[in-house]
Structure 1
């Protein structure tokens, strides 16, 4: 009888234990057709389906939590980026190239996680940069803005009232040799500084405005991309931004001051300002202007972008977006960050692009 009671009690406890754990499958698919003019020295046009981003990059993932009691939870995220035009994996072909981490979250003291995850540069710009990962946006002028992640990273983020603090430290920031990676694996006993990365953030959010600042420093290593071929070389960014909410309008401004010792023109500044307006509950119009300049160089670029989005529901929307870039000096940056294939204009040339697409969230 006692044994039967024990079995019944154990079986009754199973739903309670299961209910303490939650796992969610989520994702989005965002793609369409894009037109870009003045490609290359010959000035050809191209019509294509982008494989990197539309309004945002396509992805799917799993995230979960388990309640451990006393306000403590275990957490994990496994997130995969993919190219909707061909179905291939993004971030250099990795299965979970966007995020792959596990850790603990305490409702009082914040979250500590381990794995591949966003650096604080991502979290410091997500509110102030209106167009974020739009096919015509800041990623055009600084490609790391599209990939602010680090392998082998320890991360902490906590919110205390309106103040958020966070930091990451990577033992080897990116092991993938591909356009989406930087080929800097680190974790090298012979060179303990190689490919290390750290970032820190301080932010404040009120009910209708917010400010943030972050700093990120990336070390180089043997064979690393971007000219950082030695651990003695660094690529440092100071990031700052702010936003304001006014009825149906959101305003955002910010910038990045960069010192890249792997570049022939190491010192540069990127500034941006944008606005988003909900014309109706279903239709949003957003636009942004970006400016990039390199010190002691004629190289600079202006980028203007606009996007209109109509939401059929909370999950499905259609959009049309356009951008124009004006390169100066020897810069040959493409207006589009939507494809891994080159669509750059001639040095010093300008370029126009436009895209019509669909985004579905699940």
Structure 2
């Protein structure tokens, strides 16, 4: 099974023990490392580095090279580059997808960019075709892009006698997004795997607390909310034409939080008034890295377990967070293997307790829990 680890190039700017750089990557715990994200030029549909230290200079070695150099001691490791992300939006994506000629410029530049920097593949994280201002035609055009990239990768490998570049996509998991954005049989034909972003599914139709990455539904949820869990998402992708072995389950190394209407009502499914307070390091309302949750638990938060969904939550006064820990990661890894899935992907390395500063469980406790329960 694939063990895919996203490495983000902005966690280098976090303060204190939250700062995460390429030196923290443990190649033994990942079969693939994907660097997020590369950018794209405004109008020429070509790739460009995002951060000031991504690329080599005459006097310094860049992050790209530091990560790809991990393959020297770990030759089985694959290092890939991802484009997109939520903040990338859809405007540049749609402009690139618009015609065969604009896509061809992009496809050719992807091959050039990856090969000159020793990458093994490319991950498409466009959020989302035919959504967020992207026209309906982008559903078909995105599938065409996948086809054209795959064909170019095969052609280039044949011409150069190099191993073919890998191609994957990270995809949305809300039913309306899945229906609008993805031609599933076509994607399954051309992608090496489909990475399910099976998290951020905390949107309840009733204004109550809900876990964002539950494995299974809750019996007392409204019918629509039952679709917001990993099991339903995986099954739906399979009914739409994706083979199990092409599906990779997203694992969240963070939690989504709420402010409760009443401190006395702190279970899953109790009323919420809005997002939770921001964490001290990630500084985003409604969101905390796993290591920040550990700090909260040490500070007196109470942990509870949702047995039907196989995930934990924690609460303190009017604050509530649904997150993952080693126990839930074990459950998810075992389930993914039992379904014959292609593996898992983690978002992201920088939000585990990578430096063993917070949780008292050693370095990368979540990543270790996944590895310990994944057949090789």
TM-score grouping bracket, smaller chain normalisation? 0.3 to 0.5
TM-score by structure 2 length? 0.32
Q: As a proportion of its length, which structure holds more helix?
A: 2
Q: As a proportion of its length, which structure holds more strand?
A: 1
Structure with bigger gyration radius: 1
